[in-house]
Amino acid sequence: MRRIAVLASGNGSNLQAILDHLDRQGSSAPAQVMLVISDRADAYALARARRRDLAATHLSRSAPEGALESLLDEYQTDLVVLAGYLRLVPAPVVRRWTGRMLNMHPALLPAFGGHGMYGHRVHEAVLAAGARLSGATVHFVSEQFDRGPIIAQWPVPVHLDDTADTLAERVLRVEHRLFPWCVDAVARGTVTLGADGRVHGTLPYDFARFGVEGPRHPFVPDE
């Protein structure tokens, strides 16, 4: 049973989706969330963890160098999941968990990504660019912000009358279905990061298989 630590700065709806997914897997779940860490003491993600008697730790921005790594070690963490975590993860931690650290980005990377591109800023940039398609991207974390090898993406249409709020809500619904399956696949080892720096294995929700030509995958959001 792989041990997961989730880092979240905000509401924690992706955390919740992962917890619910693993619950649904029951005894066949490949992993369990042991620890939730937030850089914000008032993050609702911590409340979600406490509600399930999970370790929930506020790691303030002024925490000493190495505090995060010590905490991950204390809980013998196999997999680190960044679910709306707004801090840069220290490079030594990223290096140590290479191929075992995932992030969710609310756009189709590499577009609309990079430093400072998070939360509503992403959706505002998509609308400002007049893009007709946004989406969700799950990727392995590398030392360059939002530039790690991509595990899975799913498109989300942009409506002409969208605001950052309406687009964010539509993308978030897709995130909640895509992220748990990516975490599950990496925990099971059916998706791996090769020494060549590329993703290998069977992709969860491979859009290429269920794309516009393919059967209407049940996952396609009801748009």
List interacting residues with ligand GRF (CB under 6 A).
Answer: 8, 10-14, 83-84, 104-106, 119, 172, 175
Q: Tell me how far, at minimum, the Cβ of 98 lies from ligand GRF, in Å.
A: 20
Instruction: Give the shortest CB-64-to-ligand GRF separation in angstroms.
Output: 26
Sign of CA dihedral 140, 43, 66, 62: positive
Active site residue 139: no
Closest approach of ligand GRF to the CB of residue 109, in Å: 11
Which letter does DSSP use for residue 176 in this model? H
Instruction: Give the residue nearest to ligand GRF (CB).
Output: 84
Count of residues for the chain? 223
Nearest to 39 by CA among 69, 14, 4, 63: 63
105, 123, 139, 176: the active-site residue: 105
With tokens 């400002």, the residue in question is 128
In DSSP terms, which residues pair with 154 in a beta bridge? Answer: 136
Residue 8 or 199 with smaller CB distance to ligand GRF: 8
Helices (H), the chain: 13-25, 44-51, 67-74, 91-96, 120-129, 164-188, 207-210
Known catalytic residues are 105
